Amino acid sequence: MHNYLIKRLLSTIPVLIGISLLLFFMLRMLPGDPAQVLAGQMATPQEIENIRHQLGLDRPIYEQYAVYMSHLVRFDLGRSARTQNPVIDEIWARLPNTLLLAVVAITLACLFGIPAGIISAVRPYSWIDYLVTLSALFGISMPVFWLGLMLVVVFAVVLQWLPAGGTGSWQHVILPAVTLASFVIAFIARMTRSTMLETLSQDFTTTARSKGLSEMVVIVKHALKNALIPIITVVGLQFGFLLGGAVLTETVFAWPGLGRLLYDSISARDYPTIQGTILIFGLLYIIVNLVVDLIYAFVDPRIHYD
Amino acid sequence: MSAQTKPLLEIKDLRTRFHTLDGVVKAVDGIDFEVYQGETLGLVGESGCGKSVTALSILQLLPCPPAEIRGRIVFEGKNLLDLDQDEIRKIRGNDISMIFQEPMTSLNPVLRIGEQISEAAKIHKGMTRQEAWRWAVEMLRMVQIPGPGSRSRQYPHKFSGGMRQRAMIAMALSCNPRLILADEPTTALDVTIQAQIMTLLQGLKDDFKTAIVLITHDLGIIAEMASRVVVMYAGKVVEEAPIKALFKDPRHPYTQGLLGSIPVIGRKEHSGRRLQEIPGIVPSPLETPLGCRFHPRCRKVMARCCGQEPPMIRLAENRRVSCWLEA
Amino acid sequence: MIEIKEDNICKAAEWVPENRFRRSWAKLKRNKAALVGGILLLVYILSAFFAPVLFPGDPSAPNLIRSLETPTLREPLGTDELGRSILGRILYGSRISLLIAVGVVSVGIILGIPLGLVSGYYGGKVDFLIQRVTDTMLAFPGFLLALALVAVLGVGLKNTVISIGISMVPMYIRLVRGCVLSVREEDYVEAARAVGTRDVIILFRHILPNVMVPITVQTSLSMGMAILFAAGLGFLGIGVQPPTPEWGTMLGSARSYLFHAPHVATFPGIAIFLAVLSFNLLGDGLRDALDPRFKI
């Protein structure tokens, strides 16, 4: 297991370097002078010169990268061209909100998606299987932001049970979290169903039955324990989807999170914030996947005892 | 070894069909045979002749919407096909257990070996967790796995193929069954390991006084282990005989073909002789030939064979053949 | 030698080699869900082609007198804030989204297949390099990657297609590479190599056909995903720009009128839903028919 963990941690390094390179070159691919781009449209010539000097944009490219990296490792992401606050502060203020939504959404997804998938797999072609399969199919075909809008219309306008946006109470969390979770619940239900079906058709399930074990024991102790391993991986990957979907959902519900920050900064051409937010999103995703792989190492005996 | 009065297991007119998108597959189409206490019965045939399906039908391990099992499988006086799910579960792993072909995939990779062996004992013999685990370690010792205590706490991926099959045997014997269905237990193993496993099985069978139905396509194993043999072809029984009689004087052309195709090294009268093969291939289970199923490949085919299925003819006690040549 | 006499009426034990594609096609036809998906897709494609016939004129031309009308017989889906027929705009929008779907998948395939083939077949340093780049791209959730690319490339239809297309490339590379890795070890590939067949021929004649199966399934699902991504970008205002009637863009502008004219937001969303649904149904059906092993 230690080998696996070390290899996994080491493989993160090239990715981190890759991301930094990606963002580094992204800025320079934009039309115009990078310093001006970073400073924003409102900046004075003096401010532009300051930024040029600060980031070493007048020096050769590899020196620029060195300066860039030295800032990155200190989490100095520059200043927002819009608000002039340090980007890292803007991000830090909003990160908990996005994480809250994401955690609630993923919890909902596992709570509803996994059992739905299991029941569907255990009773294939029954009415409940059709219900789950159809709902899941609808769930992955619906645009997240449209669902959000429709939910707002139904629950906030017509029924007036829940607020249409903003934060404040737990009621404010419901609609955005459900919207964000919809795709993921559907995806996880489908994934669980197909994984369980596959596991239930494997040889060791027949062996378990041949010992006279009850169907419940076969499903839970033998099949599910195996199926959960790939399902955990999928849940981790879906967290990434949530981060992407957060941009859309937070916009619909005026939720003050990282996604909304990204959207606002794209609208305002605030490149330091765009860069910083994308970086943090990428970092979050990498961390989540790393955690999932760690859990994997503990749960799968083939990796654990090697 | 057939002078027993009542057979342990009687299969009468077993028909197992699968309803598939391409049609009805008649995997087993009316077979009869008996297994007596403590004997080793060989069930021989090519791949696809229905021998594995027979074993799975006995324990009803086939999913019953696509599969349909008809006939009588009488075990200790009861027709197993009449039992409900709870009753058949009491028999599985307890009175009748099964050993599977692929030790690599037949064990659950995320459960410890000891856990998998002790499961049956816990539910059938009412042992506690500790008792069952101790019993599992004991079983591992009986199948000659060294260091059974620590081995029982390991996961299957740490075991070699031969060791996994030993674990499977331990699992099958754990509740002291009256009958073991061994479905190609050594096919997936190396030849040297094969010999070890078969010797082990033979020894344990004598200790536990279990009957074994040994399903295989390997005539060599049959010659070593079985006392009686049932030969199957395309879902039907074509011949049944005690082991010596079968090898010395096979009556059905298929059996003759099988035996004739074994290469014999060293015997002077066989040197220079061309290896005999059975021409043609096994028929598709969706399109079985009319009349005798073997007739398209039979070197002694007669006109009668094309139109009518031959009856089962009893040649002697414990000898039967299904062939028009014997009629 | 056995003689099979002519006057035998019995069936010979003949093995008819099954035509894999015919079997798959039959299986697909039996799948009712896939059939529904196919019909939906057909409707979608037809409406894209016949939009100008059904709705002559410019769907984006404003007609302020009829602003924000709820559905009537004349206008079955109502009008939007500029008085334009929503039905007309949805029909024209199907052309846009179809174009985007095809464009995105083309980018993905044109870049992804060769890179995946090379990466999987040759291995070594090339593989290492391509894999690290793929890893980096996959470090971002798909939509965010497309978003980042749009931030660099700019808005508009062309850039939307390119951005989303590029964000799909890593997935295609992975898919193709995985397939190549498993096929590469097959005996027939080794046999071809042993008789001296050139690599290019091996890639095209032996490996590529096997790769086509998962690619086909994935492409159908990716088209749906492409439409969702494009709609997302359009909704945020950084995809296809108004007045072009892209469904997501329409939803974005409809947002301001959500409270007093919800129908403007409802119908484009339903259009997106149905289009994506059709691709998903078809993709699922293809996967079941072509090879149950390839479960995504």
8 A C-beta contact, residue C83 and residue C64? yes
**Nearest CA to CA, how far is B269 from chain C (Å)?**
24
Q: Element (H or E) spanning A237, and its range?
A: helix A225-252
8 A C-beta contact, residue C6 and residue B290? no
Quick one: pLDDT at residue A306?
A: 62
- In the predicted structure, residue A36 carries a pLDDT above the cut 80: no
How is residue C238 written in tokens? 């950084």
CA distance B239 to B242: 10
What is the CA angle A298-A229-C296, rounded to 5? Answer: 145
Quick one: pLDDT at residue C13?
A: 30
**Nearest CA to CA, how far is C22 from chain B (Å)?**
13
Quick one: pLDDT at residue A1?
A: 74
8 A C-beta contact, residue B281 and residue B293? no
* Residue pLDDT, tens place only, B267-315: 666 666 777 778 888 888 788 888 888 888 888 888 888 888 888 888 8
Share of chain B above pLDDT 90, in %: 52
Nearest CA in chain C to B282: C13
- In the predicted structure, residue B176 carries a pLDDT above the cut 80: yes
Mean pLDDT over C8-21 rounds to 40
Share of chain C above pLDDT 90, in %: 25
Pairing mode, strands B236-242 and B319-321:
antiparallel
The reply to whether B291 touches chain C by the CB within 8 Å rule is yes
Residues of B in contact with C1 (CB under 8 A): 279
Quick one: pLDDT at residue C248?
A: 92
Mean pLDDT over C166-176 rounds to 91
Share of chain B above pLDDT 70, in %: 97
Of the candidates C287, C214, C293, C211, the residue with the CA atom closest to the CA atom of residue C27: C287
Quick one: pLDDT at residue B1?
A: 43
DSSP state of B92: B
CA distance B52 to B58: 10
Alpha helices by DSSP H, listed for chain C, are 20-30, 32-54, 86-122, 124-138, 142-153, 157-184, 187-194, 199-202, 208-236, 247-254, 263-290
CA distance A33 to A26: 13
Helix (H, G, I), strand (E, B) or coil at B78: strand
Residues of A in contact with C238 (CB under 8 A): 266-267
Which distant-in-sequence residues (6+ apart) come within 8 Å of C139 by Cβ? A15, A18, A19, A282, A285, A286
CA distance C89 to C58: 9
8 A C-beta contact, residue C173 and residue C107? no
CA distance B38 to B205: 8
Region of B217 please: left (phi>0), alpha (psi -120 to 50) or beta. Answer: alpha
Which distant-in-sequence residues (6+ apart) come within 8 Å of B234 by Cβ? B29, B48, B49, B50, B282, B283, B285, B288, B293, B294
Radius of gyration of chain A (CA): 24
Asked if B296 and C9 come within 8 Å (Cβ–Cβ), the reply is: no
Closest by Cβ to C265, choosing from A29, A149, A245: A149
Which distant-in-sequence residues (6+ apart) come within 8 Å of C122 by Cβ? none
Mean pLDDT over B224-240 rounds to 92
Quick one: pLDDT at residue A79?
A: 78
Which distant-in-sequence residues (6+ apart) come within 8 Å of C255 by Cβ? A149, A252, C235, C265
Number of H helices, E strands in chain A: 15, 0
Helix (H, G, I), strand (E, B) or coil at B43: strand
8 A C-beta contact, residue A72 and residue A275? no
* Residue pLDDT, tens place only, B106-148: 999 999 999 999 999 999 999 999 999 999 999 999 999 999 9
Which of C125, C145, C147, C227 has the highest number of chain A CBs within 10 A, making it the mutation to test binding with A? C147
Pairing mode, strands B228-233 and B40-44:
parallel
Give the least confident one: A34-38, B57-61, C105-109. Answer: A34-38
8 A C-beta contact, residue A95 and residue A255? no
Q: Is the dihedral of CA A35, A40, A43, A47 positive or negative?
A: negative
Reading across the β-sheet that carries B179-183, which strands appear in turn?
Answer: B96-99, B179-183, B211-216, B40-44, B228-233, B236-242, B319-321, B313-316
* Residue pLDDT, tens place only, A58-115: 777 777 788 888 888 888 877 787 777 888 888 899 999 999 999 999 999 999 999 9
8 A C-beta contact, residue C46 and residue C59? no
How is residue C35 written in tokens? 């059939």
* Residue pLDDT, tens place only, C190-205: 888 888 888 778 777 7
Q: Is the dihedral of CA B279, B282, B287, B289 positive or negative?
A: positive
Residues of C in contact with B296 (CB under 8 A): 2, 4, 10-13
Quick one: pLDDT at residue C227?
A: 95
End-to-end alpha-carbon separation of chain C, Å? 51
**More confident: A51 or C39:** C39
Which distant-in-sequence residues (6+ apart) come within 8 Å of A11 by Cβ? C135
Quick one: pLDDT at residue C291?
A: 63
**pLDDT category of residue C1 using cuts at 50, 70 and 90:** very low
Q: Indicate the burial class of C295 (C-beta count within 10 angstroms; 0-12, 13-18, 19 or more).
A: middle
**More confident: A72 or B164:** B164
CA distance B322 to B30: 12
Quick one: pLDDT at residue C246?
A: 92
Of the candidates A3, A18, A32, A56, the residue with the CA atom closest to the CA atom of residue A285: A18
Residues of B in contact with A300 (CB under 8 A): 110
Quick one: pLDDT at residue B270?
A: 64
Quick one: pLDDT at residue C16?
A: 33
Quick one: pLDDT at residue B261?
A: 77
Quick one: pLDDT at residue C243?
A: 85
Quick one: pLDDT at residue A196?
A: 93
Radius of gyration of chain C (CA): 24
Length of chain B in terms of residues written: 327
Compute, in degrees rounded to 10, the torsion defined by CA atoms C218, C224, C227, C230: -50
Topology, domain C37-50+84-290: MetI-like fold (1.10.3720)
DSSP B189-254: S-HHHHHHHHHHHHHHHHHHT-EEEEEES-HHHHHHH-SEEEEEETTEEEEEEEHHHHHHS--SHH
CA distance C79 to A73: 53
Instruction: Parse chain C into domains and list their residue ranges.
Output: 37-50+84-290
Radius of gyration of chain B (CA): 21
DSSP B135-201: HHHHHHHHTT-SSHHHHHTS-GGGS-HHHHHHHHHHHHHTT--SEEEEESTTTTS-HHHHHHHHHHH
Quick one: pLDDT at residue A236?
A: 85
Of the candidates A191, A104, A199, the residue with the CA atom closest to the CA atom of residue A139: A191
Closest by Cβ to A15, choosing from C136, C141, C248: C136
Kindly report the average pLDDT of chain A as a whole number.
86
Compute, in degrees rounded to 10, the torsion defined by CA atoms C176, C181, C183, C188: 140
Nearest CA in chain C to B298: C2
Asked if B296 and C27 come within 8 Å (Cβ–Cβ), the reply is: no
* Residue pLDDT, tens place only, B178-219: 999 999 998 888 888 888 999 998 898 888 889 999 999 888
Share of chain C above pLDDT 70, in %: 90
What is the CA angle A285-A293-A68, rounded to 5? Answer: 40
Quick one: pLDDT at residue C20?
A: 62
Mean pLDDT over C255-268 rounds to 84
Give the least confident one: C3-7, C171-175, C243-247, C256-260. Answer: C3-7
Give the least confident one: A88-97, A190-199, A200-209, A293-302. Answer: A293-302
Q: Element (H or E) spanning A54, and its range?
A: helix A45-54
**Nearest CA to CA, how far is B235 from chain C (Å)?**
15
DSSP state of B66: T
**Residue found under tokens 């989540």:** A288
**pLDDT category of residue C108 using cuts at 50, 70 and 90:** very high
CA distance C140 to C142: 6
**pLDDT category of residue C17 using cuts at 50, 70 and 90:** very low
- In the predicted structure, residue C271 carries a pLDDT above the cut 90: yes
Of the candidates A188, A261, A201, the residue with the CA atom closest to the CA atom of residue A231: A188
ipTM > 0.95 (yes/no): no
Q: Indicate the burial class of A99 (C-beta count within 10 angstroms; 0-12, 13-18, 19 or more).
A: middle
Quick one: pLDDT at residue C19?
A: 57
Of the candidates B66, B56, B12, B46, the residue with the CA atom closest to the CA atom of residue B235: B46
8 A C-beta contact, residue C145 and residue C113? no
**pLDDT category of residue A213 using cuts at 50, 70 and 90:** very high
Give the least confident one: A41-50, B160-169, C29-38, C101-110. Answer: A41-50
**Nearest CA to CA, how far is B30 from chain A (Å)?**
24
Asked if A212 and B92 come within 8 Å (Cβ–Cβ), the reply is: yes
CA distance B293 to B306: 9
Give the least confident one: A76-90, A281-295, B238-252. Answer: A76-90
Residues of C in contact with B283 (CB under 8 A): 13
Asked if B91 and A207 come within 8 Å (Cβ–Cβ), the reply is: no
Quick one: pLDDT at residue B268?
A: 67
Question: Which chains have at least 3 CB atom pairs separated by less than 8 Å from chain A?
Answer: B, C
Crossing angle (nearest 10°) for helices A87-108 and A170-200: 50
Mean pLDDT over C175-192 rounds to 83
- Specify the pTM: 0.84
DSSP state of B309: P
Quick one: pLDDT at residue B269?
A: 65
**pLDDT category of residue A232 using cuts at 50, 70 and 90:** confident
**pLDDT category of residue C21 using cuts at 50, 70 and 90:** low
Question: How many inter-chain contacts (B to C, CB under 8 Å) are there?
Answer: 39
**Nearest CA to CA, how far is B245 from chain A (Å)?**
34
Nearest CA in chain A to C277: A141
Neighbours of C250 (CB within 10 A): 29
**pLDDT category of residue B265 using cuts at 50, 70 and 90:** confident
* Residue pLDDT, tens place only, B12-48: 999 999 988 778 888 999 999 999 998 999 999 888 8
Quick one: pLDDT at residue B181?
A: 95
The reply to whether B16 touches chain A by the CB within 8 Å rule is no
- In the predicted structure, residue C277 carries a pLDDT above the cut 90: yes
